[in-house]
Amino acid sequence: MYDLTYLKNKNVDKHKWNALVLASHDSLIFHNYDYLNAFCVWDAIILEDYAGVIPLPRMEMTGYLKLYQPPFIQKCNWIGAALTPELIAQIWHMIKSKFAHVHFNSNIEFSNLSSPRINLILPITTLGKNQKEYSKSLRKNILKATTLRLITDQSMVTQTTEFYQKAYGHLNKQLDKQAYANLILLVNTKPEMFFNCMVSYHDKTVAALLFANYNNRLHYILGAPNEEGRKLNALSFGINEVISRFQSQNYILDFEGSMIPSVKEYYLSFGSFDEPFYETNWCTPWLKLLLKAYKRLKRS
C-alpha cells in the first residue's frame, strides 16, 4: 500500500507543492499553485511527503461533489514518483470515495473509464529545421506575409481575449465572462508566466495570441485573427515568429489539441506530433440514474 493522503486546498503546503513542481521535468503550467488558484477550487492527492501529487479541481453541486476540468486548465497530471498499477488503483479508489461525478483529464488511464485525447506538441529546434517540417501550403502562406510584424505586450491581454471571443467564442461557450476575467487578472499579476503577442499590419492589430510560458514549454492558451488577419494568414505568421523567438532554447510548443479535424490538421501542418492524455468520465450509479431522469424531464 502506498502512503496517499487526500488534502483540501487550504491544507496543501504551497512551498512543498511548488518545490516538487519546479523539480519535476514533466510538470506543466497547470501544476503551478497560483495558476490553479486562478481558475478553480482544488484539492490534491499527495504521496508521502510530496513525493508525488495530482491536483483535483472540485465543484460543489446540489448534493454531491464533482471532479471536473476548469477553463484554461487542459489537464491535471500526476507528477513526481513513477506511476504503477497499484498506485493508479489506489488513486482511483481515493477519487471515487470523494467524488460522485468525475469528468477530468490527466496522464492516468483509469481502465476502460478513460479515453485518449489528442495533444499536439512541437519541439522547437531552429527556425530553419522547424520550417523544413512545415507543410508546403503553410510555408507558402508565411512567405506571403512579408508586411506583418509581431509585437509582444502582456498588458494587451484584454485585446487578445476580445479577438478570441469574437472569432471563436460561440464555439467555446464553456468559457464565460468570469473565465476570461480570471485569465486577464492572472496575466496582469504574473506577467512572467505568459507570452502575449499581437500581429500588426500597417500599425493595425490583425491577430492576437497568448501563450503560457512555463518549464520550457509554451502552452498555446488562445489565439485568433480578425477577418483581415484571416486573409493575411496572420495567425500562421504569429506562430512562426514565436518559434523564431524561442528557437535553440530547448522549448516545446504545446498546441493543446485538437479533436476538431480542421484544427488538428492545421497544427499538424507545423510538423507537430501527438502526446496524448486521457479523459476520464464516471459517476456513481445513483447519480447516473438521477441525471438520466433530469435529461428526460428537460426534453419533455
Same domain, 183 and 221: yes
Residue with cell 508525488: 52
Same domain, 111 and 240: no
Domain that holds residue 242: 120-274
What confidence tens digit (pLDDT) does each residue in 161-206 have?
999 999 998 888 889 999 999 999 999 999 999 999 999 999 999 9
CB contact set of 63 (below 8 Å; sequence gap of 6+): none
Sign of the alpha-carbon torsion through 31, 33, 38, 41: positive
Q: What is the mean pLDDT of residues 16-24?
A: 96
CB 117 within 8 A of CB 104: no
C-alpha cell at 208: 492576437
d(CA 150, CA 146): 11
What CA–CA distances, in Å, run from 70 to 38, 40, 174, 249, 267?
10, 6, 9, 30, 23
Q: Which long-range contacts (CB under 8 A, 24 or more apart) does 227-235 make?
A: 228/201, 228/204, 229/199, 229/201, 232/145, 232/147, 232/148, 232/201, 232/206, 233/141, 233/142, 233/144, 233/145, 234/145, 234/148, 234/199, 234/201, 234/206, 234/207, 235/199, 235/207, 235/209
Same domain, 235 and 124: yes
C-alpha cell at 54: 495530482
- For the chain, the average pLDDT equals 95
286 falls in which pLDDT band (50, 70, 90)? confident
**Does residue 294 surpass a pLDDT of 80?**
no
Same domain, 295 and 263: no
Same domain, 95 and 145: no
CB contact set of 220 (below 8 Å; sequence gap of 6+): 209, 211, 239, 253, 254, 255, 256
Same domain, 246 and 285: no
CB 243 within 8 A of CB 253: yes
Kindly state the helix (H) or strand (E) to which residue 237 belongs, with its residue range.
helix 234-245
**Does residue 241 surpass a pLDDT of 70?**
yes
What confidence tens digit (pLDDT) does each residue in 263-274 have?
999 999 999 999
CB 185 within 8 A of CB 38: yes
Residue with cell 523564431: 244
**Does residue 300 surpass a pLDDT of 80?**
no
**Does residue 44 surpass a pLDDT of 70?**
yes
**Does residue 295 surpass a pLDDT of 80?**
no
**Does residue 298 surpass a pLDDT of 90?**
no
**Strand pairing partners for 45?**
6, 54
Q: Is the pTM of this model over 0.85?
A: yes
d(CA 190, CA 94): 33
Q: What is the mean pLDDT of residues 16-26?
A: 95
Query: Does 299 or 159 have the greater pLDDT score?
Result: 159
**Does residue 219 surpass a pLDDT of 90?**
yes
What confidence tens digit (pLDDT) does each residue in 88-98 have?
999 999 999 99
> Which CATH number does the domain housing residue 174 bear?
3.40.630.30
- Work out the percent of the chain whose per-residue pLDDT is above 90: 88
Same domain, 143 and 266: yes
pLDDT at 60: 95
What confidence tens digit (pLDDT) does each residue in 202-216 have?
999 999 999 999 999
Same domain, 150 and 10: no
Phi, psi for residue 100 in degrees, rounded to 5: -85, -25
**Does residue 54 surpass a pLDDT of 70?**
yes
Phi, psi for residue 217 in degrees, rounded to 5: -135, 130
160 falls in which pLDDT band (50, 70, 90)? very high
**Does residue 292 surpass a pLDDT of 90?**
no
Q: What is the mean pLDDT of residues 20-26?
A: 95
How many domains is the chain built from? 2
Same domain, 139 and 265: yes
Same domain, 264 and 176: yes
Same domain, 200 and 245: yes
CB 113 within 8 A of CB 282: yes
Same domain, 196 and 255: yes
